[in-house]
Amino acid sequence: MRALIVVDVQNDFCPGGALATDRGAEVAADITTYLRAAREAGTYGAVVGTKDWHIDPAGHFAPEGTAPDFEETWPVHCLADSDGAQSHPALDTSLIDAWFLKGEHTAAYSGFEGHPAGAPESSLADWLRDHDVDAVDVCGIATDFCVRATALDAVAEGFDVRVLTDLCAPVTPGGGAVAFTQMSYVGVDLIDNHFH
């Protein structure tokens, strides 16, 4: 059975947010349109969402007074329970079966570092296997960081992995392109023009 993983479609990663990607809001709306049709068609046995959910994520935030490098250090974003950490309003969250939070006390790019709220011992991989999932599609934000890390971990966990490239938004276009190349190199199937 195949699941869809919707990665970090949160306000802070969309225009107006602390770590905005240019295409974030557009991708949020497109994922909703895609997901409504996919639900009708029975494409997925399960749909899960991940959220960056920071409390004190070690060195993930640039120290106060210093500039983030947008590689390893970032502006403060997705603080647990803040508006910036909520799903973007264009994403219809009623289409998502389960949520996985990540990054409370450390940088956590991959959704596979996530756990259900209030259940730090459980993992996304366990949840997927419990639901007989052996294949995943991945989409969301940001292509070059959390989507890439989630797709690479999904491969390492033994899932058959596809990435829906037009339902992903990068931090930088160059970074997004490199990320797609890396994903494809480890065996991810890139599904282009899947939606448009």
Q: List contacts with ligand VGL (CB under 6 A).
A: 8, 13, 19, 52, 74, 141-142, 145-146
Nearer to ligand VGL among residue 43 and residue 93 (C-beta)? 93
Of 139, 146, 153, 168, the catalytic one is 146
Please count the other Cβ atoms lying within 10 Å of the Cβ belonging to residue 33.
13
Of 8, 12, 52, 153, the catalytic one is 8
Q: Is 21 exposed, middle or buried (0-12, 13-18, 19+ CB in 10 A)?
A: buried
Terminal-to-terminal C-alpha distance of the chain: 25
Nearer to ligand VGL among residue 16 and residue 158 (C-beta)? 16
Query: Distance from CA of residue 28 to its chain's centroid?
Result: 11
Angle at 71 between CA 69 and CA 73, to 5 degrees: 55
In contact, 190 and 177? CB cutoff 8 Å: no
Please count the other Cβ atoms lying within 10 Å of the Cβ belonging to residue 9.
28
Nearer to ligand VGL among residue 57 and residue 162 (C-beta)? 57
Q: Measured from the CB of residue 109, what is the shortest distance to ligand VGL in angstroms?
A: 6
CA distances to 11, 67, 103 from 109, rounded to whole Å, are 16, 20, 8
Of 14, 102, 139, 168, the catalytic one is 102
Q: Measured from the CB of residue 88, what is the shortest distance to ligand VGL in angstroms?
A: 12
Q: Measured from the CB of residue 19, what is the shortest distance to ligand VGL in angstroms?
A: 6
Q: Measured from the CB of residue 74, what is the shortest distance to ligand VGL in angstroms?
A: 5
* 102 in catalytic set: yes
Q: Measured from the CB of residue 10, what is the shortest distance to ligand VGL in angstroms?
A: 8
* 139 in catalytic set: no
Nearer to ligand VGL among residue 35 and residue 114 (C-beta)? 114
Nearer to ligand VGL among residue 36 and residue 91 (C-beta)? 91
Q: Which residues contact 38 (CB under 8 A, 6 or more apart)?
A: 4, 44
Distance from C-alpha of 77 to C-alpha of 163, rounded to nearest angstrom: 25
Which sequence positions are flagged as catalytic?
A: 8, 102, 146
